[in-house]
A and B are shown apart, each in its own frame.
Chain A
Amino acid sequence: MAPKPAFELPYFYNYRPYFTLQPVRDTREKQIQLWKELILSFCKHYGMYIVDVDDFPLFANKSIERKLTNEARELFLNALVMEGRAEWLGKDHRKCLLLWRRIEDWADLIISWVQENALENGVVTLDEMRTGDEARGTDLENLEMIILERAVRLLEARGKAQMFKGSSADDTGVKFFI
């Protein structure tokens, strides 16, 4: 598979004020909006699910020698959390799970993937779903386990799947009824 083309950063990514938390309300709201969109599309482009607050490439721009303060990083991610597009992992707010596709959308994606690969009534492990041959080249490839598990749980609640606990987390099997 060809490597993904580099993400195209918006031109204002090289504007210094973009990296300073704006104190005026209207301006700040627009700034938060732009950051939220940028973080989501960047993660989606590279298939990233977890943002490390202290080490996320977008948060520092070496070419203009600017980086976001810790306060700004948390603020922008928090804005995503409020919208249900992200979740803090742990109370210290150092890592953030990004849902650039909502759980329901992931669940729908799994259904169509199951149908495409004729896995109805068959059993697959969670791990196979993200690393198996069938997953290669799809958005499920290397999907964060937490997200996958939640999407399957959602399907379980809808009566479309059943999970079987295995000896370890990786061995958890899923049976789909569609």
Chain B
Amino acid sequence: MLLLEAQLSESGRPILQPGEIECQLIDSTDIDLEQETKPPYWNPLLGGIVSLTTHRIIWIERTRKKEPVQSRAFAIPHPAVHALEPPKKGGLKSLFGKQAVKLRIVVGIRKDGALATRDAASAVRVVMVFRNLDSNSDAFVTRFQEVLEAKAWTVIPPTSALPGRAHPGSEPSFSGRQDGSQPSRAFTTAHAGVSGILKREEAQAKQADETLQEAFGDLNALMSKAKDMVALAERIRMRLAGSSGGTGGGTDEGEGSRQEMQDLLLSVGIASPVTRENAGALYHQQLSRQLSDFVGPLLVKSNGMMALVDVYCFFNRARGTELISPDDLLQACRLWERVNAPVRLRRFESGVLIVQARGHSDEAIFAQLAQLVKTPDGTHFGISASDAARALGLPPALAKEELLAAEYRGLLCRDDGADGLRFYHNFFLELDSLQEAAAGQQQ
């Protein structure tokens, strides 16, 4: 295969490189080679979704419904692109109705036939065919040209560019990267020792300060700085993680606020949100995939389930300025089943909507609850929603839903007394009659 294989997330979204941003999506697109240069082993890529990012063109295989197989994806990195040959306009053919639009991309290849990001030996034409006539292929081509001109891939991602890591000697080297032009930092005595560290900290603090100042100075600037802010947040988080592991001797309060800060920062940062503009008709489907990728790690932290309302808050916070409506969120969640996402939307009997991992089952929680009502306290006084919340590590509202679900299954029964609603082991279903109960007691 001429093209490079690209990594996909579990839900089928491309995994972006640091600093990479998705610009435009278009569906029903084929990728083929010009007839005369076609190698014998070449198979055209048909009817996939193409994602244009600042760094690559990614073709993603269309997933069929109910097919657990991961779809494939292939990419052409922009540095390999020599030129674009946009579709000709107003040709004779256009007189006979609409036709699929073709975009030819001239890419460099090495002697061995692989894609060459530099020092290309020869060039071939890759043909992109936009089969969906309703899609805005013109805008895609224009955007492609803009992206190629912007050369975003030559910019070093801020996370690595800022010297934020603990060891000055272990700066990652960029010689292996596509551009390979980043000079490694020269070692001087001015950067060494305690004073060096202090200086660096100072410079770093100043830089962070400037970033913040600039960002908050003007909303437009904030938008353009969004990526940097995400990187900064990420860096602070890394530092917090590092220092909490290193010093260890913080006060409880300090630890608490640090934890809180870390949690906050963890939920910041979808650097490349799917929007109506960049996804067009694919909006809800791609949003659904992105949401699934985003929710995955959060679910692990919150014991397998989250209220949809919380997901909405977290997701929008992470998206920064590109807020989505509750309606879009709901639509995205409803598409999860179709896109084979590893998470699912679930409605409790009471109508409360939650998001949970697909593999997550209530059985484990029910087993925990069944155990809880058989403890001495549970037998005498029952368990309340907050008792269950503490034991299960869930928000009380969700713990209550689980209690109600367990009650509905006949595992628990309720006492609605002066102490509020409390749940007990369901002894009713164990008894068939009064006589049996009396007999059972005498035994």
Binding site for B on A (CB under 8 A): 8, 10-12, 15-17, 19-20, 22-24, 26-27, 30-31, 33-34, 37-38, 41, 65-66
Within 380-407 of B, Cβ neighbours of A (below 8 Å) are at 382, 407
Contact A26 B427 (CB under 8 A): no
Contact A34 B428 (CB under 8 A): yes
Closest 5 CB pairs of A and B: A16-B415, A37-B434, A30-B428, A17-B413, A20-B416
Which residue in chain B gives the minimum CB-CB distance to A29? B428
Partner of A22, one of B413, B431, B433: B413
Partner of A10, one of B414, B418, B434: B434
User: Complex formed: what's the CA distance from A145 to B247 in Å?
Assistant: 88
User: Complex formed: what's the CA distance from A20 to B417 in Å?
Assistant: 8
Known: A12-B427, A17-B424. 5 other contacts (CB 8 A): A17-B415, A23-B407, A27-B413, A30-B429, A65-B418
Chain B residues near A8 (CB, 8 Å)?
438
Which residue in chain A gives the minimum CB-CB distance to B407? A24
How far is the CB of A2 from the nearest CB of chain B, in Å? 23
Contact A38 B414 (CB under 8 A): no
Chain A residues near B407 (CB, 8 Å)?
23-24, 27
Within 318-376 of B, Cβ neighbours of A (below 8 Å) are at none
Chain A residues near B104 (CB, 8 Å)?
none
User: Complex formed: what's the CA distance from A57 to B104 in Å?
Assistant: 91
Chain A residues near B438 (CB, 8 Å)?
8, 10
How far is the CB of B415 from the nearest CB of chain A, in Å? 4
User: Complex formed: what's the CA distance from A16 to B427 in Å?
Assistant: 11
Contact B437 A12 (CB under 8 A): yes
With A15-B424, A24-B408, A27-B429 in contact, do A34 and B434 touch (Cβ < 8 Å)? yes
How far is the CB of A10 from the nearest CB of chain B, in Å? 5
User: Complex formed: what's the CA distance from A11 to B434 in Å?
Assistant: 10
Chain A residues near B431 (CB, 8 Å)?
12, 30, 34
User: Complex formed: what's the CA distance from A12 to B426 in Å?
Assistant: 11
How far is the CB of B291 from the nearest CB of chain A, in Å? 34
Is B410 located at the chain interface by the 8 A CB criterion?
Answer: yes
Contact A23 B414 (CB under 8 A): yes
User: Complex formed: what's the CA distance from A37 to B438 in Å?
Assistant: 12
How far is the CB of B48 from the nearest CB of chain A, in Å? 49
Within 422-443 of B, Cβ neighbours of A (below 8 Å) are at 422, 424, 426-429, 431, 433-434, 437-438, 441
User: Complex formed: what's the CA distance from A16 to B421 in Å?
Assistant: 11
How far is the CB of B171 from the nearest CB of chain A, in Å? 63
Contact A17 B414 (CB under 8 A): yes
Partner of A20, one of B415, B434, B437: B415
Contact B410 A27 (CB under 8 A): yes
The interface bits of chain B over 26-51 (1 if a CB of A lies within 8 angstroms of the residue's CB, else 0) are: 00000000000000000000000000
Contact A24 B410 (CB under 8 A): yes
Partner of B415, one of A19, A23, A31: A19
User: Complex formed: what's the CA distance from A65 to B381 in Å?
Assistant: 12
Chain B residues near A31 (CB, 8 Å)?
413, 428
Contact B437 A27 (CB under 8 A): no
How far is the CB of B45 from the nearest CB of chain A, in Å? 54
User: Complex formed: what's the CA distance from A15 to B430 in Å?
Assistant: 14
User: Complex formed: what's the CA distance from A113 to B217 in Å?
Assistant: 103
User: Complex formed: what's the CA distance from A52 to B422 in Å?
Assistant: 29
How far is the CB of B248 from the nearest CB of chain A, in Å? 47
Partner of B414, one of A12, A20, A33: A20
User: Complex formed: what's the CA distance from A12 to B413 in Å?
Assistant: 13
User: Complex formed: what's the CA distance from A33 to B430 in Å?
Assistant: 13
Partner of B428, one of A10, A19, A22, A66: A22
User: Complex formed: what's the CA distance from A130 to B239 in Å?
Assistant: 92
